[in-house]
C-alpha cells in the first residue's frame, strides 16, 4: 500500500503543488496507523524529495517568480523553525485535532477561492507577512506550504496558474528540508515507511512532471481540496474522540 500511496501523492504534488503534507500526513495516520508526530516528520522528508525532482521542471520552464519566492521564504523559514519545536510539546490527541482542523480549513479556503474567482490585485509585498504563519503551520503539521502557499499566491499576486504551482513547489521544498531535518533530528520519523513511499514516489514525481504541462492544474486542485476537507475532518474527529 505504501508504494501506491507514494506514487499517487507524488503525482498530485507534481501537478498541483499540494499534497506533500496536507495529503501525506492524514493518509499515514488513517490508512497506515502511523503516530501523528512521526507522520508529520515522514511527510516533510517525503515531500522534500518529491519536490527536489519536480521543482526544477518549473524552473527550466521559467514558471517560478523569484520575487514572490524570496518574500515567502523571508517569513516562512523562521516560521517553520518555531512550528517544528512547538509540535513536540503537545499531546497526541490535541495535536491530531488541531492538525485535522487545520487541513480542513485550508481545503475549505481553497474551495472558497475557486468559488469567488474574479480578477486579482497585485499585493505581492504582503507575502512577507503571510509567509511566517504558513511556515509555522508547515513545521507544526507538515501541511500548508502547498495549500496555503498557493492560496496566498492566488490571492495576492497576478501570477498565472503554472507559475503559482512552480513558485509554491520551490517554497515548499525549502520549508520541507528545514522542517523535515528538525523532525528527523528529534526522532519524529518512520524510516521504513518513508523508504517505501519514496520507492513509489520517485516514479510518481517523474510522471507528474511530464504531465504537468498537459493536464489542467486548476481542476485537479479543486478535486484535491474536496478530498482534503473530508480527510481533515475525519482526523479532527479522531483526535477529539481520543481526548474525551
What stretches of the chain show up as alpha helix (H) in DSSP?
A: 2-16, 24-32, 36-60, 66-87, 92-116, 127-141, 147-156, 161-185, 191-211, 217-243
User: Which whole number is the average pLDDT over 15-33?
Assistant: 78
pLDDT of residue 244: 53
Domain containing 21: what range?
2-243
By percentage, how much of the chain surpasses pLDDT 70?
79
- pLDDT tens readout for residues 117-138: 655 567 888 898 888 878 877 7
User: In which band, very low, low, confident or very high, does the pLDDT at 66 lie, cut at 50, 70 and 90?
Assistant: very high
For residues 75 and 25, the model is more confident at: 75
pLDDT-wise least confident of 80-89, 141-150, 228-237: 141-150
User: Which whole number is the average pLDDT over 4-18?
Assistant: 81
Q: How many domains does the chain have?
A: 1
pTM: 0.74
Residue 65: pLDDT above 80? yes
Residue 35: pLDDT above 80? yes
Residue 151: pLDDT above 80? no
Residue 53 CA neighbour count, 13 Å, CB half: 23
User: In which band, very low, low, confident or very high, does the pLDDT at 167 lie, cut at 50, 70 and 90?
Assistant: very high
pLDDT of residue 163: 86
Provide CB contacts within 8 A for 211, sequence distance 6+: 11, 14, 15
Amino acid at each position: 500500500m505504501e508504494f501506491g500511496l507514494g506514487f499517487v501523492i507524488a503525482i498530485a504534488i507534481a501537478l498541483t503543488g499540494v499534497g506533500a503534507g496536507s495529503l501525506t500526513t492524514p493518509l499515514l495516520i488513517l490508512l497506515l496507523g502511523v503516530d501523528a508526530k512521526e507522520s508529520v516528520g515522514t511527510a516533510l522528508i517525503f515531500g522534500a524529495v518529491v519536490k527536489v525532482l519536480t521543482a526544477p521542471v518549473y524552473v527550466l520552464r521559467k514558471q517560478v517568480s523569484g520575487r514572490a519566492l524570496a518574500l515567502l521564504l523571508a517569513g516562512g523559514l523562521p516560521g517553520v523553525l518555531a512550528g517544528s519545536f512547538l509540535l513536540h510539546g503537545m499531546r497526541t490527541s490535541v495535536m491530531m485535532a488541531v492538525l485535522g482542523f487545520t487541513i480542513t480549513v485550508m481545503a475549505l479556503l481553497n474551495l472558497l477561492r475557486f468559488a469567488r474567482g474574479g480578477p486579482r490585485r497585485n499585493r505581492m509585498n504582503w507575502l512577507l507577512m503571510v509567509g511566517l504563519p504558513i511556515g509555522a503551520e508547515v513545521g507544526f503539521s507538515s501541511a500548508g506550504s502547498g495549500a496555503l502557499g498557493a492560496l496566498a499566491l492566488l490571492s495576492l499576486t497576478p501570477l498565472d496558474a503554472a507559475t503559482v504551482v512552480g513558485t509554491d513547489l520551490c517554497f515548499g521544498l525549502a520549508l520541507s528540508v528545514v522542517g523535515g531535518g528538525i523532525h528527523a533530528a528529534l526522532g519524529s520519523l518512520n524510516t521504513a515507511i518513508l523508504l517505501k513511499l519514496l520507492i513509489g514516489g520517485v516514479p510518481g514525481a517523474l510522471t507528474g512532471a511530464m504531465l504537468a504541462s498537459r493536464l489542467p492544474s486548476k481542476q485537479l486542485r479543486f478535486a484535491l481540496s474536496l478530498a482534503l476537507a473530508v480527510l481533515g475532518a475525519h482526523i479532527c474527529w479522531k483526535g477529539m474522540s481520543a481526548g474525551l
